[in-house]
């Protein structure tokens, strides 16, 4: 019993050891030539402007919301698809109708979001 699960333990050890191992190896091998630019927080890109409490564009949230809705839709559709064979044997076409209603409501929502311009980045 324990032997069967021992590979999980081995896996855990390897997983924990892997990132430090890579970092340590790189630290040993790399040439060390520090400078002020290299020591700054962001080596590349632009200097930050203003503080971190900037206001995000509200569209991020609308995007996120629409994404979540369709994410959940998949979460519902997957078990339905798995169970569909058994359900349709017992109840015929009804399970299909039910899921079409479900998707139909979501489609209506999508249409609404689309028409209101939620999918366009301004």
Partner 1 sequence: MVSGLDFQLFLPETILLVGGIAVLIADLFLRERADRETNLAWVSLAILVAALVASAAQYGVSESLFRSSADPVAPGAFVVDGFTTFFRIIAILTTIIVFLASVEYVRGRTAFRGEFFALMIFSTLAMTLMAGSTDLVMVIISLEFLSITSYILTGYLRGNVKSNEGAVKYFLYGSITTAITFYGASLLFGVAGSTNLYDIAARFADPTAIIGTPLMSLVLPAIIFLLAGFGFKIALVPFHQWSPDAYEGAPTPVTAFLSVGPKAAGFAMLLRVFAVALPEFTHEWAALMIGVAMVTMTLGNIVALSQTNVKRLLAYSSIAQAGYMLIGVAGVSVANIAGIAPGEGGAGLAIDGTAGVLLYILAYLFTNLGLFIGVIAVDYLAGSDTLPGYAGLLRRAPFLTVAMTIFFLSLVGIPPTAGFIGKFWVFGAAIQNQLFALAAVGAINGVISVVYYFRILKQMWYEAPADPTPLRLPGTMNAALWICLSLTLLIGLFPAPFIEFANQSIHMLGVFVRS
Q: Which residues bind partner 1 (CB under 8 A)?
A: 90-91, 94, 98, 105, 108, 111-112, 115-116
Q: Which residues contact 104 (CB under 8 A, 6 or more apart)?
A: none
Q: How far is the CB of 100 from partner 1 (least distance, A)?
A: 13
State the Cα–Cα distance between residues 122 and 58, nearest whole angstrom. 11
Number of Cβ within a 10 Å radius of residue 102: 14
Q: How far is the CB of 87 from partner 1 (least distance, A)?
A: 8
Q: In the complex with partner 1, which residue's Cβ is closer, 12 or 57?
A: 57
State the Cα–Cα distance between residues 122 and 115, nearest whole angstrom. 14
Q: How far is the CB of 63 from partner 1 (least distance, A)?
A: 19
Number of Cβ within a 10 Å radius of residue 119: 13
Q: In the complex with partner 1, which residue's Cβ is closer, 81 or 83?
A: 83
Q: What are phi and psi of 113, to 5 degrees?
A: -65, -40
Q: In the complex with partner 1, which residue's Cβ is closer, 77 or 113?
A: 113
Q: How far is the CB of 104 from partner 1 (least distance, A)?
A: 8
Q: In the complex with partner 1, which residue's Cβ is closer, 16 or 108?
A: 108
Half-sphere exposure of residue 34, counting CA atoms within 13 Å on the CB side?
A: 3
């Amino acid at each position: 019993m324990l032997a069967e699960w021992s590979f999980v333990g081995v896996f855990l050890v390897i997983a924990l050891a892997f990132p430090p191992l890579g970092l340590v190896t790189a630290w040993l091998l790399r040439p060390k030539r520090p400078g002020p630019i290299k020591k700054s927080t962001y080596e590349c890109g632009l200097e930050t402007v203003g503080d971190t409490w900037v206001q995000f564009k509200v569209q991020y949230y609308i995007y996120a919301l629409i994404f979540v809705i369709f994410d959940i839709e998949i979460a519902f559709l997957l078990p339905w698809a798995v169970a569909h064979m058994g359900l349709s044997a017992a109840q015929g076409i009804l399970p299909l109708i039910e899921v079409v209603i479900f998707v139909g409501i979501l489609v209506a929502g999508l249409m609404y979001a689309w028409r209101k311009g939620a999918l366009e980045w301004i």
